[in-house]
Amino acid sequence: MNLNKSKTIIWDLDGTLIDSKPDIFVCLNRVLLEYNLSVYFDKVKVGPPLNAMLQELFPNLQIETIDKIITDFRKIYANCGFNDTKPFCEIENCLSINAKHYLVTNKPLNLTNYILEKLEWQNKFVKIFAGTDKTETFAEINSESMAGHIFSIGDSVGDAIAAKNNEIVAYGALWGYGDRDELIKICDKVFENAKEFCDFLYFSV
């Protein structure tokens, strides 16, 4: 792979590269059904810890019950096949841009690798970091990339904070699951959709 070493892009996964919400929604409701519970699609939040979302949706549930729901969900989700987890439109073009691409995600490594293999993206990234502290990981990437231009793109405030803690330019993916107003407030620049970001990469970076 002939990489342009002057550019380094740090990618988030869920809500930035891929739309994983449909599979998460189905698997979560399969588990909740056992407790005579359910959740609407627009109430499912991808990104924040699952226990926080469940506590917000079902404030009367005991912590022990929430922990069991999460355990059962993870088992079902890990074996769902990810058939409805798809790349966002134009993301394939973004990943074809000549640069050093890194992936940093909260998703467990085994699930991350499975999805990347399914999408045939195994060779798209210089390195993959899964389930690690993002601020520490960004610092590691920053020190090893030696790039003239390094920036991150993600759909959560946490992605932007990790970037800014390491003096990395933070771009916001408004097409994902994050809070629009918060991303606009904290990010150096935001993009409405992946095509807009892809055009920016081609013509402005």
What pLDDT band is residue 2 in, cutting at 50, 70 and 90? very low
pTM (2 d.p.): 0.91
Please tell me what DSSP assigns to residue 122: T
Q: What is the pLDDT of residues 149-192, one digit of tens each?
A: 899 999 999 999 999 999 999 999 999 999 999 999 999 999 99
Q: What is the mean pLDDT of residues 16-22?
A: 97
- Check whether 43 has a pLDDT greater than 80: yes
**CA–CA dist 59, 52 (Å, integer):** 10
- The residues of the chain that CATH labels 1.10.150 are 21-78
CATH number of 7-19+87-204: 3.40.50.1000
Helix axes 50-57, 63-78, angle to 10 degrees: 130
What pLDDT band is residue 46 in, cutting at 50, 70 and 90? confident
- The residues of the chain that CATH labels 3.40.50.1000 are 7-19+87-204
Q: What is the mean pLDDT of residues 44-69?
A: 90
**Secondary-structure class of domain 21-78 per CATH:** mainly alpha
110 with 78: CB under 8 angstroms?
yes
**CA–CA dist 67, 69 (Å, integer):** 5
Q: What is the mean pLDDT of residues 40-47?
A: 88
**CA–CA dist 167, 190 (Å, integer):** 17
Please tell me what DSSP assigns to residue 126: S
Q: What is the pLDDT of residues 77-103, one digit of tens each?
A: 999 999 999 999 999 999 999 899 999
